[in-house]
A and B are shown apart, each in its own frame.
Chain A
Amino acid sequence: MAILRRIKGKLTKISKRQEKARIVKGEQKKIRGKDIPRVEKKEVLGAQETAVEKTKFYAAKAPVMPRAVPQDLPWGYGQDKIVLQVRDPWWIHAYWEVTNPTYERLKNELKNEFYGARRILRVYDVSQIIFDGKNAHRFFDIQINEHSNSWYIDTGGPGRSWCVDLGLLLPDGRFIMIVRSNTVCTPIEGPSWITDEEWMIPEDMFARLYGMGFGLGRSSPVGKGWEERVRREIISSPGVSSLASPVKKMPAEKKSWLVVNTELIVYGATEPDAKVYVQGKQVHLRHDGTFTMRFAIPNGKQVIPVKAVSSDGKEERSITPVVTKETR
């Protein structure tokens, strides 16, 4: 039996630990409609920074008083252009605008061929060259539809330069360029292979510095010590206390829930220039001599002596309500 009890105890401990882990690492939870910064299980660069920055900009959930809504922005600005921007080492973003006169001109020039043509983005790898339209290392095409005006392009190539033509691919394979973009360069996604002769740095030492720089902590004594401490601290956090709280448990994930709190309002009136004391503390009177107080009320009996003293201090009146609260 003793063994069984011990095993049971251990299992409870383990399940509690898992519970704790779930709470700490849980998916994005909502408490009364407020977003809790989600903690990524896999570490994503900048995730915490984003979560914290978000808390600076809370906004009301419900519709706020009507504010003048600005009119819409124009769809375009009457220019033929395509602009490339880098999103990350792999992806670039293109947005473009081609005006109707340009399409009309192409229709006139290409006649029937125009209608058989496909709209494409031709993505050129122009790393380390001055691009003249013909000397790209390679290119690939992305077919786009008539209505799209922007596109995320998976270049598959960190550390390279890119240029994009928006144009028409004719059935016979000819490509008619409409607009050419700027050139952008995607960053490399790891350490550079270029090592300066004079500043040569041994591979293993760099690896250790690199690891530390990313807070991996594996190779450094710091990480381990810290991990141990955190573990100790989390485990030693205390259990549930029985203190009354103005709002009790608010299950976040259960559908059905109930919160009931009780507060007591004590109000009355006397001469506006009198002094009123509730439980021995002076209260603020309104101009008409009325007063209102509000108390969160715990279980049990509350004796609330109310005393009014006239302005000349000669007259004194007392009333003492007694209130008992019980929760079943």
Chain B
Amino acid sequence: MYKGYLCLVLHSHLPYVRHPEYEDFLEEDWLYEAMTETYIPLIYTLESLSNDNIDFRLTMSLSPTLISMLSDGLLQDRYLRHINRLIELGHKEVERTRWQPAFEHLAIMYLNNFCKARDTFLRLNRNLIAAFKRFQDSGRLEIITCGATHGFLPLMDICRESARAQIKVAVSHYESVFGRKPAGIWLPECGYHPGHDEILKEAGLRYFFTDSHAVLHAAPRPKYGVFAPVYCKGTGVACFSRDLESSKQVWSSIDGYPGDYVYREFYRDIGFDLDYEYIRPYIHPDGVRINTGIKYFRITGSDNKEPYDPHRAREKAAEHAGNFMFNRERQIEYLCDFMQKKPIIVSPYDAELFGHWWYEGPLWLEFLIRKIVSDQKTIRLITPTEYLSENPRNQVITPSLSSWGWKGYSEMWLQGSNDWIYRHLHTASVRMTELAKSFPRAEGVLKRALKQALRELLLAQSSDWGFIMGTGTHTSYAVRRTKEHILRFTRLYEEIKSNSIDENWLCDIEYKDNIFPDIDYRVHQ
């Protein structure tokens, strides 16, 4: 008899980066790397579990920007080019390391990974989303949505029309991709502002996730802490809060698994380590060294890095999966003494943590799921939808303003380096509402301009730009994107207002910022 539940959640998101106007664009590599290192390995994990008929449950958010990029023809072509280049480099590496067996077998491993990634990509007709959709249709994976462009909603509270547009565009995009309505949402950066549950309710969403303090600091006090969801007062939208103990074990590079010395070192990439002339064709065309994804060392625990040993790492991942399960079992048993209902442990992670940052992460996840399903009887994997149908009675409270970002509130996105963006974003929001209200039934070029205006606004709102500015390093791209979208929006606004739309220019930015082709500009009000 199960005593409680574990809800594993993976949040996958990348900002919309697509530059048809350039032959090569460095920041597009964020996507290609994540495809090779995270999304495709996660597909293997899910396939392997399904092939063995493991009755798993996993919740995964796919942000609309990520879905759009993964379904985009240009980026798909470019991914193929990218992976082909890596395969070429892989072959050279196998040759180069011929006299160094400790590295040669790693070179072979990477070459195999790259070839397998390309095969998988082609097998799925270049669209990874199709694979995730299939797992959802099988009933074991629950895919939820996210903000349209991952806009940080608490800093949009002053113009809720924009928060509404972020949600509604996301929901209708989800429906067009998956052929059903999303049951829940991952609020970008877990950013919750009291009252935004009203927007979720309007959009037909039944639940969302928050960080622990959203519920622990809620009023009135939550009876069961974060170990049972709560309903938001007034709307009844369910709020699941994360358990920090289980989070820390996976997130933390000190107390957590990914920092183990046996695991692969993220920061030693041949793109930086090898001879410039040799590596030059595989780094950025202007000759700037970048990561290639081929990394030969393990974390080791000192600067004198030792070669990575995949077998030891694999054993360690299995051991860590066992440890995680063991700890959750103890946690559930402990909680059972307090609670009159079955506790749920919510463990959400950035999907890109698995594979990209923590190379062994997808393996760990697979071991964990297999062990939980077959090796014990204390915890059961569950999705929020299943939980709510089994446990419909929950406490009603008002969660607190919160995020899972640095210091737990809005400071990551509201500090000296990025606070300048809000006067522009908010003005654009007010103007977009004005446009949506002025033109309830636009057609032709005007309609195209209005749709594009909303696209530009949404793209400017991505939390990623503020985040990158907040980290203080390499901020120029984030600044540029913010300015570019705001400027395009402003020009559209002025041209629409003065009835002088420059159609050539409109065509140009429709081609560049082509996200959400079926967007309804009227949702912004």
Please give the residue numbers on chain A whose beta carbons come within 8 Å of chain B beta carbons, in ascending order: 20, 23-25, 31-32, 34-37, 39, 44-62, 64-65, 67, 69-73, 76-77, 79, 83, 85-89, 91, 93, 95, 97, 150, 182, 185-192, 194-196, 199, 201, 205-206, 208-210, 212-215, 217, 220-223, 225-226, 229-230, 233-234, 237, 240-241, 243-252, 261, 263, 279, 293-298, 302
Contacts and interface: CB of A to CB of B under 8 A. Distances in A.
A233 B468 CA distance: 35
Interface of B: 14, 22, 26-27, 30, 34, 92, 95-100, 102-103, 154-155, 157-158, 194, 211-213, 216-221, 223-227, 241, 243-249, 251-256, 259-262, 266-268, 270, 272-275, 278, 284-286, 288-291, 296-297, 301-307, 323, 326-327, 330-331, 334-335, 338, 350, 352-353, 356-357, 395, 400-412, 414-415, 419-420, 422-424, 426-427, 464, 467-468, 471, 473-474, 477, 480, 483-484, 486-487
Given A97-B423, A293-B95, A296-B97, A213 B486 contact: no
B431 to A, nearest CB: 9
B406 A225 contact: no
Contact of A222 (B251, B288, B304, B331): B331
Nearest to B250: A48
Contacts of A53: 350, 352, 467
Contact of B26 (A51, A59, A249): A59
Candidate in B154, B284, B288, B464 with the most chain A CB atoms within 10 angstroms: B288
Candidate in B221, B251, B284 with the most chain A CB atoms within 10 angstroms: B221
18 contacts: A52-B352, A53-B350, A58-B291, A58-B474, A76-B423, A85-B157, A88-B408, A88-B409, A89-B409, A93-B419, A188-B217, A190-B217, A205-B338, A212-B245, A215-B247, A230-B255, A237-B301, A245-B297
Contacts of A62: 288
Given A49-B404, A49-B405, A191-B217, 18 more contacts: A25-B254, A57-B467, A59-B474, A60-B284, A61-B474, A69-B480, A85-B158, A88-B411, A186-B401, A188-B217, A191-B221, A192-B220, A210-B216, A215-B244, A223-B245, A240-B304, A243-B102, A294-B95
A203 to B, nearest CB: 10
Contacts of B426: 83
A263 B96 contact: yes
A10 to B, nearest CB: 21
Contacts of B477: 59
The binding surface of chain A is classed by DSSP as loop
Contacts of B420: 150
Contacts of A190: 217
A250 B303 contact: yes
Contacts of A248: 304
A58 B217 contact: no
A95 to B, nearest CB: 5
B307 A23 contact: no
B408 A46 contact: yes
Contacts of A186: 401
A56 B467 CA distance: 11
A229 B484 CA distance: 51
B509 to A, nearest CB: 12
A246 B323 contact: no
Contacts of A191: 216-217, 221
Contacts of B410: 85-88
B349 to A, nearest CB: 9
